[in-house]
Amino acid sequence: MRVNIRRLTVAGALMVVFWLAVMYSSVIDVPGALSSKNSVQDIENRIDNLQKQVEQQMTESNLLLARVKEHLKAKSQAKEEGKDIKDNNVEYSLNNLVLPVLLIACDRVTVKRCLDNLVKFRPNKDMFPIIVSQDCGHNATYQVIKSFADDDPTITVVQQPDQSEIPLPRVKVKFRGYYKIARHYRFALNHVFKTLGHEAVIIVEDDLDISQDFFEYFLGTYPLLLKDRSLWCISAWNDNGKKDVIDMSHPELLHRTDFFPGLGWTLRRETWLKLEAKWPEAFFDDWLRDPQNTDGRACIRPEVSRTFTFGKIGVSKGLFYDMHLRAMQLNMEYVEFTALNLTYLLKDNYDEALASTVRALPEMTADEVIAHPAGGSPPAVKVTYSNAQTYQKAAKKLGLMDDFRSGVPRTAYRGIVSCFVRGRRVYLAPSFQWTKYDPTWG
């Protein structure tokens, strides 16, 4: 029995030791404890990573937010500066728009032809009242105009009251007509802006035909004149408007020009008040072509003219009419200008686009342009000039007018003349860094 108890005690002790050993190993034993320690580390690492990712995302989101804020700020600034054409002010001016037509007449009874077309194509009588200003005191012409005014209260006639002879030195007598025209324009524009108080006016002469979309053209482009302070006029005329040098498939295309085209044009009151103070005694159109008189501002002109002059016999000689004016193309396709986006004509968009287009174009000589009709390639090229002589040579070759006024070539914008010859767009461009026109050219 004694032995058995001892054995039992030993066995019990052994079991306790074994149990303790098992327990101990379960607490501190090697492999299991090591892996759980690793997973804690893992989790900590992952949390660290997550935190880093969240921080990175926060930084990115903040950057994004800053960019969005910057964009919104720039947008509202652009709107304030008037880069967005139809902002509230312009919208207001357009909703209340009255854009009268001022018709300059003298002694030609054919003013009827002009009035007939104005009446025929006028989309809205109240929006486009017609004011005829007559010079010359010619009764037969007055009667023609009066017959229109008698029938329609939105057509009125006023007569230029000062019919006195303008005293001129002998050498200038042959230019008398130009003195009378400048005097008449001063009276007529003062009548429209000062007496009648209009905001803007479309000016036409008594020997102009107009296109069907003449009024739509001036309506659609008027917001440009309101918004873009670097513009002072919108004209319906392309001085290089002959069939052979325009793209008839793009009657909607418009351009900026530094050369005042006249012959159907819109002028605002605020510009008139500045011009009137220094208005010339004669040759008002060439005077308006001197950048000094218009603060270097530009006009809009169409690819395809919206007016045509049938006045062969007038103040200037009929030779110019037969050589150039007779061949001018009047637009025949109605374009809905009020539905078009014309923001490409705003200075900020236009200047950079034109410069980079011309910079990137392949070069050809005027002779090559004429000798190789496009056939699709290249669709556009530049022809460069370096002085007045090389300009005139290239212009003549291409079929363009080659004259200058105050150093500005006809239809030029920042020294570049854009035309369409033998199936391709051609830019006659300076080979040098252009900064301004040289008045000694021409």
CB closer to ligand UD1 out of 328 and 364: 328
Using CB under 6 A, which of 129, 220, 241, 262 touches ligand UD1?
262
Distinct helix (H) and strand (E) counts, the chain: 13, 15
* Helix (H/G/I), strand (E/B), else coil: 273: helix
Least gap, CB of 141 to ligand UD1 (angstroms): 9
From CA 185, how far away is CA 191, in angstroms rounded?
10
* Residues β-bridged to residue 9: none
Least gap, CB of 307 to ligand UD1 (angstroms): 10
From CA 334, how far away is CA 361, in angstroms rounded?
31
The residue behind tokens 């006029």 is 233
The residue behind tokens 């006659």 is 428
Residue type, 112: K
DSSP-assigned states of every residue in 139-150: HHHHHHHHHHHH
Contact 401, 237 (CB under 8 A): no
Please state the φ and ψ torsions of residue 89, each to the nearest 5 degrees: -60, -45
CB closer to Mn ion out of 311 and 439: 311
Q: Is 285 a catalytic residue?
A: yes
Residues near ligand UD1 (CB under 6 A), total: 24
263 in contact with ligand UD1 (CB under 6 A): yes
* Helix (H/G/I), strand (E/B), else coil: 294: helix
Residue of minimal Cβ distance to ligand UD1: 314
Least gap, CB of 185 to ligand UD1 (angstroms): 7
Q: How many residues does the chain have?
A: 442
Please state the φ and ψ torsions of residue 128, each to the nearest 5 degrees: -125, 70
Least gap, CB of 164 to ligand UD1 (angstroms): 12
311 in contact with ligand UD1 (CB under 6 A): yes
Residue of minimal Cβ distance to Mn ion: 311
Query: What is the CB neighbour count within 10 angstroms for residue 109?
Result: 15
Q: How far apart are the first and last CA of the chain?
A: 143
Catalytic-labelled residue, pool 285, 290, 351, 402: 285
Contacts with ligand UD1 in 279-308 (CB under 6 A)? 283-285
Using CB under 5 A, which of 82, 311, 439, 442 touches Mn ion?
311
Least gap, CB of 291 to ligand UD1 (angstroms): 18
Contacts with Mn ion in 195-214 (CB under 5 A)? 207
104 in contact with ligand UD1 (CB under 6 A): yes
82 in contact with Mn ion (CB under 5 A): no
181 in contact with ligand UD1 (CB under 6 A): yes
Binding-residue pattern over the window 188 to 207 for ligand UD1, x denoting contact by CB under 6 A: -----------------xxx
106 in contact with ligand UD1 (CB under 6 A): yes
From CA 381, how far away is CA 224, in angstroms rounded?
28
Q: Which residues are tagged catalytic?
A: 285
